[in-house]
Amino acid sequence: MMRNENLTQGAFSFVNGSSEMASLIRMKNWSGSPLGALESWPEMLKSMIATVLASPFPMHICWGKQLFLFYNDAYRPILGSTKHPVAMGNPIGDSFPEVWEQVGPLYQTVLEGQSVRHSDRELILNRNGSPETCYFDFSYSPIIGRGGQVLGVMTYVVETSVRKFAEIEKLKLSKSVYAINEELTTSNEELVQANEELMAVQEHLKQTINQLEESDTSLRLAVEAADFGIWHIHSLSRDFITTPRLRELFGLGHFEKIIIEQAITQIREDFRDYVSTTLENAIYNNGEYDVTYPVIGLNDNKLRWLRAIGRLRADPSGEFSDFTGVVMDVSDIKKDEERKNDFIGMVSHELKTPLTSISAYLQFLEMQISKAGADNLQRPVARVIMQVRKMSKMIEGFLDLARFESAKIQLNREIFDLAGLCTELELEFADQIGTHIIKFSGKESVMVFADRDKIAQVINNLVGNAAKYSPNGSTILMSCVRKKNIAMVSIQDQGIGVEGNEQVKLFERYYRGENNGTIAGFGIGLYLSAEIINRHNGKIWVESEAGNGSTFWFTVPLAN
Ligand code: ADP
């Protein structure tokens, strides 16, 4: 039995209640404590303890300057599992060292006679073995003795941690709700904007579709008006899609089916290889396609000249291409051209015979003059011979043109040394072209497989032009080199040059440059040269700048 178990009367009456804390105070042996035996405690202290113990509200008092702590049952949970029961009757500072720096000064203030009140005061307590953030509402007021002196501190305390945490959570929640709301508002605004943009794009798309439809209609009308046939070739499946007009041009009924191989067999034999090679080249080398060829109608056996223009359109996937084009009937134009060519051919032929006789007579005359020593006649006769030679060359050109147009020209290929040919021609030029210095820089032989006469004709033509379009006395340089599997020849002059935009046109039939002035010509020399080189599967082009001379290049394949 504890020492004070029966002492519930008299001096102990202030702790005779049934509360847990009353019993704790009652049963504790106070005689060794700084407060001394319980019986000796001041009446005021006893009366305050009795008041605290009787309160259902969390309360404690801190007695004296050392602030001996006495608390009631309602206050006890605040002390957690570690501070109770040691705290009872001991200086409060000893029980709350972790917060004493914060609350100690408050007690001092109260000991000096002032009251203190705090709401939701945050304190980090170590009451259950680890630091814990807690919140309290409390009021500290002085216990005033009869003489007016402060005897201790009376405290009402409510722990508000649960409510405070709920509030903090609520605040956090409402902050995140606010943030989400903000985000929602922003994304809503973005959505509105995106929607507006989408509507604008849609509007634009509508307009584009309208324009496309319009241009499609105009294209259809134009195609119909021009009587064009249209075709598509898929580079992988080789599907050949055609319009009724195209089938008509190939002599088929509107609803008959046509496959590409059959269309090719209808091309006249002498053009077949040329057309199919050009077509394959264009399909697989991303090229454009513009060929004119004769076709024999399948059902009507009629010969039609067709011009097909096509262009490759790569699919964005990169896997296949669509080769699309139009075909038009150019039979009438072709007939006109044929008539014109026949006429040119016939006239040239008729002119050639008397010119050949004139040349022969002139050579005879030249010999006689030289025998007779009639020196004064030598120069004029030489001039006449030169003019006749020029005329012969021109007529030869027209005859060649006629031959090319009627595809009657044949290549007689042989293996020969192209550099050797250039050396030979260099010597001839020295005789024939006295107005310019002509130099050939080639040293090594370059063996090619080509028509020697035709290649000589091309070089003749290019050197003749170089002399024609550059000042007298200037130099013309010829070169012949080997590059990988081709031979390259260049003829460079210091003449009037060619504007960039004109450079491709020079090789067209009858094309004459704009800055020729009074220099005479028919615009067929380069066309013929290009035809010859193309038939050799070579290339011909010019590098030039107006006023700064030109370099004409051509290539032919090397002999294997
Ligand atoms: P022609 O000389 O009879 O006009 P060509 O077909 O030989 O016909 O040449 C076509 C055009 O190319 C010429 O009219 C000329 O404008 C231009 N041309 C050809 N060679 C040269 C050159 N070496 N320098 C400048 N222009 C040239």
Say if residue 23 is in the same domain as residue 134.
Answer: yes
Say if residue 36 is in the same domain as residue 91.
Answer: yes
Q: Does a structural domain hold residue 169? A: no
Say if residue 400 is in the same domain as residue 479.
Answer: no
Does the Cβ of 397 fall within 6 Å of ligand 1?
A: no
Confidence (pLDDT) at 294: 93
Closest CA to 279 of 308, 319, 249, 316: 308
What is the rounded average pLDDT of the residues 168-182? Answer: 87
Query: For the purposes of burial, counting CB atoms within 10 Å of the CB of 75, is it exposed (0-12), middle (13-18) or buried (19 or more)?
Result: buried
Q: Does a structural domain hold residue 8? A: no
Banded model confidence at residue 102, pLDDT cuts 50, 70, 90 = very high
Q: State in Å: Cα 464 to ligand 1 middle.
A: 10
Say if residue 469 is in the same domain as residue 355.
Answer: no
Say if residue 20 is in the same domain as residue 119.
Answer: yes
Q: Does a structural domain hold residue 166? A: no
What is the rounded average pLDDT of the residues 411-430? Answer: 94
Say if residue 144 is in the same domain as residue 293.
Answer: no
pLDDT tens digits for 260-287? 888 889 999 988 888 888 877 777 766 6
Say if residue 423 is in the same domain as residue 544.
Answer: yes
Closest CA to 72 of 14, 114, 6, 130: 14
Banded model confidence at residue 10, pLDDT cuts 50, 70, 90 = low
| Spatial separation of the C-alpha atoms in residues 333 and 305, rounded to whole Å | 9
Confidence (pLDDT) at 390: 83
Does the Cβ of 401 fall within 6 Å of ligand 1?
A: no
Helices (H) and strands (E) in the chain — how many of each? 13, 17
Confidence (pLDDT) at 286: 64
**Three-point CA angle 357, 359, 361, nearest 5°:** 70
Say if residue 392 is in the same domain as residue 247.
Answer: no
Banded model confidence at residue 7, pLDDT cuts 50, 70, 90 = very low
In a mutational test of the pocket of ligand 1, which residue from 395, 526, 542 has the highest number of ligand atoms less than 8 Å from its CB? 526
Query: Whole-number mean pLDDT of the chain?
Result: 88
Does the Cβ of 17 fall within 6 Å of ligand 1?
A: no
Say if residue 266 is in the same domain as residue 393.
Answer: no
Q: Does a structural domain hold residue 68? A: yes
Confidence (pLDDT) at 6: 45
Q: State in Å: Cα 103 to ligand 1 middle.
A: 109
Q: For residue 281, give the CATH number of its domain.
A: 3.30.450.20
Does the Cβ of 522 fall within 6 Å of ligand 1?
A: yes
Say if residue 378 is in the same domain as residue 448.
Answer: no
User: Could you tell me where the DSSP H helices lie in 373-407?
Assistant: 375-405
For residues 378-399, one letter each, b for 16 or more C-beta atoms within 10 angstroms of the residue's C-beta and e for the rest, the string is eeebeeebeebeeebebbebbb
Confidence (pLDDT) at 2: 43
Banded model confidence at residue 179, pLDDT cuts 50, 70, 90 = confident
Say if residue 344 is in the same domain as residue 206.
Answer: yes
Q: Tokens standing for 266? A: 């209808």
Total domain count for the chain? 4
Confidence (pLDDT) at 406: 67
Domain's final residue, options 360, 376, 405: 405
Q: For residue 419, give the CATH number of its domain.
A: 3.30.565.10
Does the Cβ of 393 fall within 6 Å of ligand 1?
A: no
Q: Does a structural domain hold residue 253? A: yes
Domain's final residue, options 405, 439, 462: 405
Q: Which atom of ligand 1 is nearest to the CA of 496?
A: 25
Does the Cβ of 495 fall within 6 Å of ligand 1?
A: yes
Rounded to 5 degrees, what are φ and ψ at 423? -60, -45
Say if residue 248 is in the same domain as residue 381.
Answer: no
What is the rounded average pLDDT of the residues 43-56? Answer: 92
DSSP per-residue codes, 140-155: EEEEE-TTS-EEEEEE
Cβ atoms 63, 43 nearer than 8 A: no
Domain that holds residue 523: 414-557
Percent of the chain, pLDDT > 90?
A: 53
Query: For the purposes of burial, counting CB atoms within 10 Å of the CB of 244, is it exposed (0-12), middle (13-18) or buried (19 or more)?
Result: middle
Confidence (pLDDT) at 199: 92
Cα→Cα distances 455→145, 334, 419, 452, Å:
136, 28, 12, 5
Domain's final residue, options 329, 349, 368: 329
Q: Does a structural domain hold residue 1? A: no
Q: Does a structural domain hold residue 106? A: yes
What is the rounded average pLDDT of the residues 512-516? Answer: 82
Q: Tokens standing for 114? A: 């002032």
| Spatial separation of the C-alpha atoms in residues 287 and 233, rounded to whole Å | 14
Q: Does a structural domain hold residue 367? A: yes
Q: Supply the residue whose CA is at minimum distance from atom 11 of ligand 1.
A: 512
Q: State in Å: Cα 449 to ligand 1 middle.
A: 27
Q: Supply the residue whose CA is at minimum distance from atom 21 of ligand 1.
A: 465
Does the Cβ of 529 fall within 6 Å of ligand 1?
A: no
Does the Cβ of 100 fall within 6 Å of ligand 1?
A: no
Banded model confidence at residue 12, pLDDT cuts 50, 70, 90 = confident
Cβ atoms 64, 89 nearer than 8 A: no
